[in-house]
């Protein structure tokens, strides 16, 4: 809902004559709801350049979901290097510089003070600093696979296709949205090693002041 529309509805409630009316309580809750919608609308209109409402909405949804399981993870965290970190079970993100979204809830907000966010370097750095990477893959191709896949999307990790990663289609779609990839983008998945057998390895991507880690559902060799 646009900010101007929300403001109009607020003014209508403010000017309403409640003389002899019994709907004051109901309208009070409508008023509170509109205030929250207004706050959210203002946040979305102040997103940094390079971010989108679709991306912001996807992050908020993810934080709300994971926050129900563990309240701390429903927040983002600005780490000691100034990166905005947030995570779920299968995906983790680090935004920095102009990619940071100030409108997202943070551990540094006054109402959230006292929370200690988990360390992420040991998980992220070996992957994101690795020189090993998959063959280039187009985002448009990944989105096509997501649309047609039943449950999993398979991606080659080596040129001959002898080692692959299988991603849950919903997780991969969420990852693409939050990283704010464009259909025309081509990415390479970073990994610290392939290991032996079918052990799962976290895979990473660096893109426009954003870093992302995604855990495959399984590895195939």
Residue 103 tokens, joined: 């409108």
**Residue 14 class from Cβ within 10 Å (0-12 exposed, 13-18 middle, 19+ buried)?**
exposed
Residue 32 has pLDDT above 50, yes or no: yes
Residue 151 tokens, joined: 């449950």
Distance, CA of 198 to CA of 219 (rounded, Å) = 5
**Residue 25 class from Cβ within 10 Å (0-12 exposed, 13-18 middle, 19+ buried)?**
exposed
- pLDDT number for residue 210: 96
Report the DSSP beta bridge partners of residue 154.
166
pLDDT tens column, 58-102: 999 999 999 998 888 999 999 999 999 999 989 999 999 999 998
Residue 219 DSSP SS3: strand
Residue 164: phi, psi to the nearest 5? Answer: -135, 160
Residue 141 DSSP SS3: helix
**Residue 27 class from Cβ within 10 Å (0-12 exposed, 13-18 middle, 19+ buried)?**
middle
Q: Which CATH number applies to 50-221?
A: 3.70.10
The mean predicted confidence, pLDDT, of the chain is 84
Report the DSSP beta bridge partners of residue 187.
137
Residue 157 DSSP SS3: coil
Residue 19 has pLDDT above 50, yes or no: no
8 Å CB contact between 166 and 208: no
> Can you give the pTM of this predicted structure?
0.81
8 Å CB contact between 211 and 94: yes
Q: Nearest Cα to 73, choosing from 88, 93, 60?
A: 88
């Amino acid at each position: 809902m646009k900010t101007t529309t929300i403001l109009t509805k607020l003014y209508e409630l403010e000017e309403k004559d409640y003389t002899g009316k019994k709907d004051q309580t109901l309208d009070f809750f409508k008023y509170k709801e509109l205030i929250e919608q207004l706050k959210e609308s203002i946040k979305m209109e102040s997103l940094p350049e390079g971010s989108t409402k679709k991306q912001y909405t996807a992050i908020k949804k993810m934080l709300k979901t994971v926050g129900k399981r563990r309240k701390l993870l429903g927040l983002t965290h600005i780490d000691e290097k100034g990166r905005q970190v947030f995570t779920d079970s299968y995906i983790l993100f680090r935004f920095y510089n102009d990619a940071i979204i100030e409108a997202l809830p943070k551990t540094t907000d006054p109402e959230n003070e006292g929370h200690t966010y988990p360390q992420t370097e040991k998980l992220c750095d070996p992957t994101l600093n690795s020189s090993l990477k998959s063959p280039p893959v187009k985002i448009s191709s990944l989105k096509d696979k997501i649309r047609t896949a039943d449950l999993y999307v398979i991606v080659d990790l080596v040129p001959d296709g002898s080692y692959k990663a299988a991603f849950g289609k919903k997780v991969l779609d969420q990852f693409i949205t939050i990283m704010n990839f464009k259909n025309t983008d081509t990415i390479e998945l970073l990994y610290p090693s392939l290991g032996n057998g079918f052990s799962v390895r976290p895979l990473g991507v660096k893109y426009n002041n954003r870093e992302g880690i995604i855990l495959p559902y399984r590895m195939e060799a």
